[in-house]
A and B are shown apart, each in its own frame.
Chain A
Amino acid sequence: MIEVICNDRLGKKIRVKCDPDDTIGDFKKLVAAQIGTAPEKIILKKWYSTFKDHITLADYEIGNGSSIEMYYA
């Protein structure tokens, strides 16, 4: 289990407990459950690269304590 921090810099910063082999889509669902925004509306980014839904966290080298930028579509 890892904990990933998601921050939208607008007041929402959450810690999400997840597995490294969860896909970004699953992760988004978890985030959505926590913040109350629809998962399709959430865009996760690190700098200018947008994370794609079908790729796992481990593949993006997101580990325990990593931060992800969160935007809304």
Chain B
Amino acid sequence: MEESLSIEETNKLRISLGLKPLKVDTDPKPPGDLTGEETFDNSVEGHERRAVANWRKNEAEVNKEAARKAKLDGIKKARDVAKRFAQLEGKGLGDADENEEDTTTWVRKMKKRQKKLVEKMGKEREEELERAAREHKEYTAVDLAGVRVGHDLDELHEGEEGTILTLKDSTIEENEEDGDELISTDLVESERLHERLELKKKKPVYNAYDEDVPGEKGILAQYDEEIDGKKKRRFVLDGSGNSADINAHREDVVEKLKAKSIIINLDMPKPEVTSDYALNMKIRKPKKKKSKSTRKKSENDDDSFLAPPPAENEDQKSDSNSMEVDSVPAIAPKPKRTYKETSFVDDEDLQDSLALQRRVALKKRKMPKPDVFARQLLEESAAAVAEASTEAETAMVEDDEEGPGLIIDETTEFVANLRAVVIPERKKVKPEATRVTSMAEDMEEDQETEDMEVDQDDQSGHKSITPVPLAKPSSGAQEFSSTGLEEESTMNRGVGATLAMLHQRGLIKRDEEAENKVQLLRDRENFNVQKRLREVEAEEKAKSQRLRDRQSGKFDRMSAREREEHARWENKQRDLQEARDLQQRFKDYRPDVNLEYKDEFGRDMTAKEAFKNLSHQFHGKGSGKAKTEKRLKKIEDEKKREATSSLNTNSASAVQAAAKKGKQAGVRLM
């Protein structure tokens, strides 16, 4: 199908066309190429050939590399394996020890080891001590020789317990210049403070009256410090910890002393400036105001001036003749009394006597022995139990004259009666309930609860369960009011009670209609409760009936079909009975019917609107666009009106509108 020419033919053709003949790969290469460098062949074939060769070379290299890597990996793996096994060599835990050592050898070994350890430790300690000694070579006064101290020798001796000197904080330059210097920071601090205080004093530079030793001060001595710098007082320590020039210092001091003793002052003695005011006169301090406690004062006075009877004694004495009021002022004459005190004297005496009297009275009252008192108490309590509590209380009132007194009125009487009576009354109620429940127990097993009373006075003969509120204490109490009148109700028991009281007094009239409504509501609630109870009851009854049937073996005689029939019949009967009951009950059922229609916005609809709405719903077709819009607008207006009316009155808004129309600004003040 495919035509093709042979190479020779093609070559012939090419030559005839003037083209070079085809190169054929199969041609043997000329021998010259093998020896020399391959001539660069720029033809496509050559490129290809070279590319292939290059690729092969690259491939070979990669292969070689991979092989090498594999070999290395193999070697490494082998080495790892060898290492692993090497680790596993040696003695395992389970292997027996060849040179098993017994206890004695072990102990010996341990001892040896311990000894070695001790030796080692001892050596170490020695070395350490040596090192410490080397380091801690005692630093004595000798080391301090030649060190300067930056204080006067006198200053240093001021402190009793010796001062601590530290190296002065200085720059390197200063240190180079001056060498080390020891200072006491405390002293430096105090010096500085002193200087500052001096500066603050603003002393006049020149004081004509200054007592000066001629020759000691130069001209304008106050600038000496500024010109020459501060005079530094320092000394140098010698090897023994003393001042190097202590002798010089001593001599200096001695000389000074000598000079002082010799100097004869030729100055006129300064006139003594006498102050206008007496300086060291003794001033009598004004006596402090006497303390208010008059009793104490009197005692003190007694102590000081009527020495013989000591304070406690006096107390007792005054006890003994307790009632003699006059005897107390008998001790009264007090020789030293300022006029101030005398002005109060009568009052004070009176107070004294009164206090005494009071104390005596108190003691007397405390007098009765505890057992007597206890007996009295016991008797009292017994009386309280036996009789009405009121009598005991009155007795107590008689006893206690200072007490506020007990007021017995209707309320307390009532409360007492109430407490006495209510408990038995409640007890009386309980047995009744239990009796009834016990009667009812054959009918029902587990229906009774604690706060339900069962009564059997229903006309239909069914027992009914009515909830009885737990707290009903006031019902019985009213008959026991002591006055024979009805207990006056108070306002402190709640809104209901208050309302009842107000009504009772005719202060508020009851609204007939509202009353009716409330009554209706109550009836309905009652009805609902009754209904529910009845349902429960009926169910219970049916259940018990079934149980009885089963127990009597009525079902055993029936076939399955008959049984079913029977059940159906019973159900029917029960339904019938229920319906009859309901009918009877609904005779006095007065429902309060109130139809309400709401539209989609929640507004109330009138009957007309409601009808329209219903009609629309029924036909599935609403009113047209215009009508709907009108209605919506109406609703909107209504809403707006409501909003405004709730915020501000109509009149105000009208006034505002008028003002706006008339272009008047202003606010209406109410």
Is A14 within 8 A of B24, CB to CB? no
Known A13-B2, A14-B4; 20 more pairs at CB < 8 Å? A1-B7, A1-B22, A1-B23, A3-B4, A12-B3, A15-B4, A16-B4, A16-B5, A17-B4, A17-B7, A17-B10, A17-B22, A18-B22, A19-B20, A20-B44, A21-B43, A21-B44, A30-B14, A30-B17, A33-B13
Give the shortest distance, in Å, between A56 (CB) and chain B (any CB). Answer: 8
Instruction: Return chain A residues, CB-CB under 8 Å to B5.
Output: 16-17, 34
Instruction: Return chain A residues, CB-CB under 8 Å to B595.
Output: none
A58 close to chain B: CB less than 8 A: yes
When C-beta atoms are compared, the residue in chain B nearest to A11 turns out to be B1
Is A29 within 8 A of B10, CB to CB? no
Is A22 within 8 A of B4, CB to CB? no
Give the contact-size bracket for chain B.
Answer: 10 to 19
When C-beta atoms are compared, the residue in chain B nearest to A29 turns out to be B17
When C-beta atoms are compared, the residue in chain A nearest to B20 turns out to be A19
Is B4 within 8 A of A30, CB to CB? no
B331 close to chain A: CB less than 8 A: no
Known: A22-B19, A33-B13. A1 touches B2 (CB 8 A): no
Q: State the CA gap A34–B12 with chains docked (Å).
A: 13
A26 close to chain B: CB less than 8 A: yes
Is A20 within 8 A of B45, CB to CB? yes
Give the shortest distance, in Å, between B5 (CB) and chain A (any CB). Answer: 6
Is B23 within 8 A of A19, CB to CB? yes
Is B17 within 8 A of A34, CB to CB? no
B25 close to chain A: CB less than 8 A: yes
What is the interface of chain B, defined by CB distance below 8 A to chain A?
A: 1-5, 7, 10, 13-14, 17, 19-20, 22-25, 43-45
Instruction: Return chain B residues, CB-CB under 8 Å to A14.
Output: 2-4
When C-beta atoms are compared, the residue in chain A nearest to B45 turns out to be A20
Known: A1-B25, A30-B10. A15 touches B45 (CB 8 A): no
When C-beta atoms are compared, the residue in chain A nearest to B7 turns out to be A17
Q: State the CA gap A38–B25 with chains docked (Å).
A: 31
Instruction: Return chain A residues, CB-CB under 8 Å to B23.
Output: 1, 19
Instruction: Return chain B residues, CB-CB under 8 Å to A19.
Output: 20, 22-23, 43
A43 close to chain B: CB less than 8 A: no
Instruction: Return chain B residues, CB-CB under 8 Å to A22.
Output: 19
When C-beta atoms are compared, the residue in chain A nearest to B43 turns out to be A21
Is A30 within 8 A of B13, CB to CB? yes
Instruction: Return chain A residues, CB-CB under 8 Å to B13.
Output: 30, 33
A5 close to chain B: CB less than 8 A: yes
Is A26 within 8 A of B2, CB to CB? no
When C-beta atoms are compared, the residue in chain B nearest to A15 turns out to be B4
Interface centre among B2, B7, B17 (most CB of A within 10 A): B2
Q: State the CA gap A49–B381 with chains docked (Å).
A: 134
Instruction: Return chain A residues, CB-CB under 8 Å to B25.
Output: 1
Q: Which one of A13, A26, A33 lies within 8 Å of B1 (CB-CB)?
A: A13
Give the shortest distance, in Å, between B359 (CB) and chain A (any CB). Answer: 138
Instruction: Return chain A residues, CB-CB under 8 Å to B4.
Output: 3, 14-17
Instruction: Return chain A residues, CB-CB under 8 Å to B44.
Output: 20-21, 58
The 16 listed contacts between A and B (C-beta, < 8 Å) are A1-B23, A1-B24, A12-B3, A13-B1, A13-B3, A15-B3, A17-B5, A19-B20, A19-B23, A20-B43, A21-B43, A21-B44, A30-B13, A30-B17, A33-B13, A58-B44
Give the shortest distance, in Å, between A50 (CB) and chain B (any CB). Answer: 22
When C-beta atoms are compared, the residue in chain A nearest to B17 turns out to be A29
Instruction: Return chain A residues, CB-CB under 8 Å to B20.
Output: 19
Give the shortest distance, in Å, between B452 (CB) and chain A (any CB). Answer: 103
Give the shortest distance, in Å, between B25 (CB) and chain A (any CB). Answer: 7
Q: State the CA gap A33–B439 with chains docked (Å).
A: 135
Instruction: Return chain B residues, CB-CB under 8 Å to A17.
Output: 4-5, 7, 10, 22
